[in-house]
Chains A and B, each alone.
Chain A
Amino acid sequence: MSNKEQLQNEELQQQNANFEAEYIDENVAYVADSKFKSFVKKFMKRRTAVVGFVIIVLLLILAVVGPSIAPYDPAAYNYDNMFAKPSAEHWFGTDHYGRDIFSRVCAGAPLTLGVALSSVIVGTIVGAVLGLLAGYYGGWIEMLVMRGADVLFAFPDILLAIAIVAILGPGIVNVFIAVAVFTVPSIARMMRSATLAVKSSLYVEVAHSLGCKDGRILFLHIFPGTTQTLIVNFTMRIGSAIMAASSLSFLGFGANVTDPEWGAMLSQARSYFSTAPHMLYLPGLVIFITVLAFNLFGDGLRDTLDPKIK
């Protein structure tokens, strides 16, 4: 190439570079801020999920302020007014000790929801870490985690929880442990496959090529890629955790029968089913709605976070 040509070329390059810088300024789309907005917009399209979300918010409020807004003392016996049908005074009626059932549901909200939420949170954290390590390192770690999960999966959920409580003895803390343990395998399994998917993406290979250490790759490059799946699964697990906690209490493995735990309330109502069915129906309905709300919300969240669904 002659000198003159080279000069011309350099000039051209410079021109292009200047042009480019200006051009990009004008033309790069500004979409970053709207990410959250578009998420909300997409979520609002899913009516049932929005209903679920509203119910969850109300339930959480109830769990916080419930005991203080209860119209009656949830533990106060009133032998003059036993088995009262639902009425303006006692919305959900009264039970066999004449306690106001609505007040007991309010007072029980923090207990039931608290056990379910905290156990799922703990179970999810443990499961996520195990799944992440299993997916990333493979080999004997994966073998250990996955075979462990298989063993736990061999029991039906509730049977596993019963087995754990049977070993540890009844009590609300043991219910918490049981529910946490049965959350671990499903989260670990899901997390492992999510990790495997992200691990094989090109940007993780690039991170290796740049010389990133394992910890950095694991927590900065891989983990954020799995959070969407994790959040969705977390939400879905809460529904089944409430079911499990209530079931355990219902079977008498969980909360003290005098505690206003929802499942325990059902357990006591069982004896009076023919005379006072409202004792069973109304707290049962609350459990049903709660579980349904979390499942609807989880479904909607999954669809919203899936870029393939519009």
Chain B
Amino acid sequence: MSQEVLLKVKDLRTEFFTSKTSSVTAVANISFDIYKGEILGLVGESGCGKSVTSLSIMQLLKDTPGKITNGEVVLDGVDLITASDAQIRDIRGGKMSMIFQEPMSSLNPSMRIDKQMIEGICLHTDMSKEQAREHAAEMLKKVGIPDPQRVLKNYPHQLSGGMSQRVMIAMAMSNDPQLLIADEPTTALDVTIQAQILDLMKKIQKEEQSSILLITHDLGVVAEMCSRVIVMYAGKIVEEAPVGILFNNPTHPYTQGLIASVPKLGSGVKVLPSIPGSVPDLSSMPEGCRFAPRCKYATEKCRTQEPPLAVVGENQKCRCWLKIEE
């Protein structure tokens, strides 16, 4: 695998302002790289900041109370945070595109599919309308839609969930993006449809040699799709490792607990080990390590000092005092 960096996220901090003076930090100074041609998984439970991370990368926080207060997001030498609106518009949907969890609500319900797709293509290329239409049909065929001409004439409500997610993928891929950000792309879909969509994403990624940032809470999807994984907890990265190492040798107690608490098909257990307690509220983060209140190994140090994200093995980073002191 080539180790050329495509997207560099450095010290990214995103806060949500509840009033002019008070804010909660959803993403607390995270740094990571996405390499060319890889599928990077971003895993975590609700409220861990994984979706906010993706919106921050896409610069989609404009109309929300959220604001990036620190850090840089560099794609191909351009810092997206300081880039102008025109630059961002050019990059978004061009070099970088996104698919969302709810395929149904991500499509404009009052516009035919062809109009929506052509609009996206014409914005980023010099194609004429007819060429764009042809290209759109080609893309739909690529994502496994049997009769693209019919689907192009449909309105979104005439499509099923799996079909609209295919259309979303076709739209996202229509300008050959280098980076595709997929935020829980299959969570709203059924298992058999999920299998279709995951299969499709893998196939397209291989053909186009693009990179995917796959955001999900489902460890099964991660194991199946990703080459590298980042685990987030309460706005921080707690572990980063290649997928094989992460599942076979997780180092952070949270990752260990998370992997252990998911039932595996065919394992035959009746009782699962579980992580006690629940995710801390963003407005009242514990001092020290954020996982300490739920961690059975926590020491006094964990409760007072925050551990850094340290390299603990080959390609593996972990934010835990126990591993740093070993």
Contacts and interface: CB of A to CB of B under 8 A. Distances in A.
Do A and B come from the same complex? yes
Contact of A29 (B270, B274, B284, B296): B284
Contacts of B278: 27
Contact of B294 (A15, A23, A29): A23
B281 interface: yes
Given A1-B270, A9-B271, A13-B271, A27 B280 contact: yes
B276 interface: yes
A26 B284 contact: no
Interface residues of B, number: 14
Contact of B276 (A1, A9, A23, A26): A23
B293 A23 contact: yes
B266 interface: no
Interface residues of A, number: 13
A20 interface: yes
Nearest to A13: B271
Interface string A1-29: 10000000100110110011001101101
Contacts of A16: 274, 276
Nearest to B279: A27
Interface in B227-286: 269-271, 273-274, 276-278, 280-281, 284
Contacts of A29: 281, 284
Contacts of B277: 19-20, 23-24, 27
Majority SS at the chain A contact face: helix
A20 B276 contact: yes
B284 A19 contact: no
Nearest to A9: B271
B273 A19 contact: no
The 3 closest A-B pairs by CB, nearest first: A23-B277, A19-B276, A9-B271
Interface of A: 1, 9, 12-13, 15-16, 19-20, 23-24, 26-27, 29
Interface of B: 269-271, 273-274, 276-278, 280-281, 284, 293-294, 296
29 contacts: A1-B269, A1-B270, A9-B270, A9-B271, A12-B271, A12-B273, A13-B271, A15-B296, A16-B274, A16-B276, A19-B276, A19-B277, A19-B296, A20-B276, A20-B277, A23-B276, A23-B277, A23-B293, A23-B294, A24-B277, A26-B293, A27-B277, A27-B278, A27-B280, A27-B281, A27-B284, A27-B293, A29-B281, A29-B284
